[in-house]
Structure formats: C-alpha cells, structure tokens
C-alpha cells in the first residue's frame, strides 16, 4: 500500500518539471550558458547549431521567464547582443537537472 | 536528455572551438622564431621584448579574426585563475632557481647543478620548453600542445649530441609551429566564414 503511494508521488512530480527548460533547444541553450560566464548570440548559434530565427525565439522565451539576461550594446559602432544566465536561470537549470535525475533513477529497469 | 548531458564536454567543446583558430600557435611560433633570429643577431634579450608585442598581436588578431566568425564568449573565472596560477608557478620557479644560484655562487663558486645545467643547456632548454608545452596543454585543454612538446624534446635532445648552434633548433621549431598554426587558421577561416549582421542576432525582434 505504502509502495503504491510512493509511486504515485513519483509520478506526480513529473508534471512539475520546468517545461521552459524541458524543450530540447532551450535546454541546449541553457546548458551552453550554464558552462560559461556569458556569450554572444553568434557564439551560441555556432555552438548549438540552431538557426537564427529559432535561437532568437527561444532566447526570447527564456528572457521572458527571467532565466536569461540579454544585454545589447554597440561595439565599434556595431550592435552586439550578449547573453548570460541569471541567478534564477542558473538555479532553475540545476533544479531541472536534479529533478530529471530523480525521475529517471526511480524508473524501473 | 538531462541524463545524457555532459556539461564538462559542452564546456570543453566550447573552449576548444574558441581556440581552434591557430592564433595561439602562431604567436608562440613568432616568439620562438624571434628568439632564434635574435640569437643569430647576438641580441637574444630582444626576444623577451618581442614576446610582449606578440601578446598584443594575439589579442588584436583574436578580436579581428576570431570573434566576428565564431562569436565572443567569456569563460568561467576558474579558467583565468588556472592560467594565472600557471604563470605565477613558472615565474616563481624561475625566480627561486635564480636566487638559489646567486646565493650559492656568492658563497663559493658556481654550484655543481648550475655547471651541469650550463654544460647540458640543450637538454635543459628542451625539457623546459617541452614541460611548458605540456603545462599549457593541460591548463588550456589543448591536445596539440602535447604534440608540440614531443618534437621539441626530440629536437633538443638530438641537438645535445649534434652540436649545431641553438638558433638552428629554435628556428626549426618555430617554423614547424608556425606552419601548424597557419594551417589551423586557414581551416578555421574556411569553416567559419564572416557572419552577416542578421546571423549575429543583432537585428532580432523581441517577443
């Protein structure tokens, strides 16, 4: 009986996974920003292999969630966009990894 | 996906791709070549002066050639700390050796270990340069630095027995590294053509 309740608890934790990070492209962006201090748009595009439009759209969603800070500036009279994870984004990414590890470790087989 | 993700591997890939432009190799090659040429001109000390010039060259070339092609990234602080630690370690060791040599010379003639080092200077230089390449390879996680260490060691050990002047080996080593660096730079420029302003994301619409 107790085992059944425990399994139910494990299953109910799945919907609580952060859906913003769960999307593969956003997860890749978050992972790349997690391992560096900051990167510009072009570097992320080269590393992730995402198209400009795709990357732009996902970054906008991450920015809206408060996970990514977008800084726009002019370097040598050219516009330049720098991206970095916010503290909230860094914590959310770590929590996401932790929760996914827990879910997978509890699956049978 | 989170189960399979390897953050260390992502960081390593990002780091190596940022340094696959061959500029660090070209800068090292220029330093080695300059030392060789300056020794021919009997102005070996000038090599150190030029080393500062090449560091500036590296920074400028990175900004002009690499960043417009692959983008800009700031790596975590521990990377910079590792570089500083390596530089401080090497300088401290050199200073310590210098002080010990000075003190022992003052006390009573040239110490035996210094005489040994002077007599076998080719071996000492070869081992030191090869060790520096290995340390750089380990710190910067660039495997090609280990590849430079091996010919360096072979060349200088051979030089110990062949008795050709030091500048021959320096110029040969510098030329090898320069060729490798130029090949890497050419491949890098072909692989990453200059991006348009659109692809840098600077025109992106919010929302």
Alpha-carbon distances of B17 from B6, B86, B137, rounded to whole Å? 17, 22, 15
CATH topology of domain A2-106: Arc Repressor Mutant, subunit A (1.10.10)
CB B10 within 8 A of CB B155: no
Residue B164's pLDDT is what? 80
Using pLDDT thresholds of 50, 70 and 90, give the confidence band for residue A58. Answer: very high
Neighbours of B87 (CB within 10 A): 12
Q: Which of A15-24, A33-42, B7-16, B50-59 has the highest mean pLDDT?
A: A33-42
- Higher-scoring residue by pLDDT: B204, A2: A2
Residue B198's pLDDT is what? 47
Judged against a pLDDT cut of 70, whether residue B65 lies above it is answered with yes
Using pLDDT thresholds of 50, 70 and 90, give the confidence band for residue B197. Answer: low
Which residue of chain B is at minimal alpha-carbon distance from A79? B202
DSSP code at position A68: E
Q: What is the mean pLDDT of chain A?
A: 84
For the residues B177-206, what does the mean pLDDT come to?
76
- Provide, as residue numbers in chain A, all residues whose Cβ is less than 8 Å from the Cβ of B195: 42
Q: Give the three-state DSSP class for A3.
A: helix
* pTM attached to this predicted model: 0.75
Q: Helices B23-40 and B143-162: crossing angle, nearest 10°?
A: 20
Residue A53's pLDDT is what? 92
- Provide, as residue numbers in chain B, all residues whose Cβ is less than 8 Å from the Cβ of A56: 201, 204-205
The domain limits of chain A are: 2-106
Using pLDDT thresholds of 50, 70 and 90, give the confidence band for residue B89. Answer: confident
Using pLDDT thresholds of 50, 70 and 90, give the confidence band for residue B188. Answer: very high
For the residues B41-45, what does the mean pLDDT come to?
76
Closest Cα in chain A, distance from residue B61 (Å): 15
Residue B194's pLDDT is what? 83
- Provide, as residue numbers in chain A, all residues whose Cβ is less than 8 Å from the Cβ of B201: 40-42, 45, 52, 55-56, 59, 81
For the residues B75-82, what does the mean pLDDT come to?
69
Q: ipTM > 0.85?
A: no
Please, which residues 11-70 of chain B have a Cβ atom closer than 8 Å to chain A? 11, 13-14, 17-18, 70
Q: What is the mean pLDDT of chain B?
A: 81
Judged against a pLDDT cut of 90, whether residue B9 lies above it is answered with no
pLDDT in tens, A11-47: 565 667 788 888 999 999 999 999 999 999 999 999 9
Alpha-carbon distances of B206 from A32, A42, A63, A75, B176, rounded to whole Å? 21, 17, 10, 20, 49
User: Which of A17-21, A63-67, B48-52, B140-144 is predicted with the least confidence, judged by mean pLDDT?
Assistant: B48-52
- Higher-scoring residue by pLDDT: A10, B18: B18
Residue A80: both structure tokens together: 């330049």
Which residue of chain B is at minimal alpha-carbon distance from A26? B1
Pure H helices in A23-82: 24-34, 41-48, 52-64
The domain limits of chain B are: 7-191
| Separation CA A69–CA A25 (nearest Å) | 17
CB B136 within 8 A of CB B79: no
- Provide, as residue numbers in chain B, all residues whose Cβ is less than 8 Å from the Cβ of A96: 2
Alpha-carbon distances of A35 from A94, B79, B109, B200, rounded to whole Å? 12, 11, 54, 21
- Higher-scoring residue by pLDDT: B62, B42: B62
Residue B205's pLDDT is what? 42
For the residues A46-75, what does the mean pLDDT come to?
91
């Amino acid at each position: 009986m107790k085992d059944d309740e425990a399994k139910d608890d494990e299953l109910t934790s799945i919907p609580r996974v952060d859906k913003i990070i769960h999307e593969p492209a956003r997860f890749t962006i978050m992972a790349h920003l997690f391992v560096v201090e900051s990167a510009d748009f072009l570097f992320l595009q080269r590393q992730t292999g995402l198209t400009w439009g795709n990357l732009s759209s996902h970054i906008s969603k991450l920015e809206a969630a408060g996970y990514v800070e977008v800084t726009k500036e002019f370097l040598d009279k050219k516009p330049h966009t720098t991206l970095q994870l916010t503290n909230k984004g860094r914590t959310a990414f770590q929590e996401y990894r932790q929760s996914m590890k827990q879910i997978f470790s509890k699956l049978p087989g | 996906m989170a189960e399979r993700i390897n953050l260390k591997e992502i960081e390593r890939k990002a780091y190596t791709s940022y340094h696959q432009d061959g500029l660090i190799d070209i800068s090292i090659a220029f330093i080695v070549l300059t030392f060789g040429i300056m020794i021919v001109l009997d102005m070996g000390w000038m090599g150190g002066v030029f080393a500062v010039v090449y560091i500036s060259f590296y920074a400028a070339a990175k900004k002009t050639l690499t960043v417009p092609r692959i983008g800009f990234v700031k790596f975590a602080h521990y990377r910079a700390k590792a570089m500083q630690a390596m530089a401080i370690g090497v300088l401290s060791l050199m200073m310590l050796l210098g002080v010990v040599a000075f003190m022992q010379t003052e006390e009573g003639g040239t110490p035996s270990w210094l005489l040994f080092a002077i007599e076998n200077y080719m071996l000492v230089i070869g081992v030191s340069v090869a060790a520096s390449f290995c340390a750089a390879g380990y710190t910067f996680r660039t495997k090609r630095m280990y590849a430079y260490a091996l010919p360096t060691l072979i060349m200088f050990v051979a030089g110990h027995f062949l008795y050709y002047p030091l500048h021959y080996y320096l110029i040969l080593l510098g030329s090898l590294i320069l060729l490798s660096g130029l090949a890497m730079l050419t491949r890098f420029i072909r692989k990453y053509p200059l991006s348009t302003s659109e692809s840098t994301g600077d025109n992106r619409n919010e929302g």
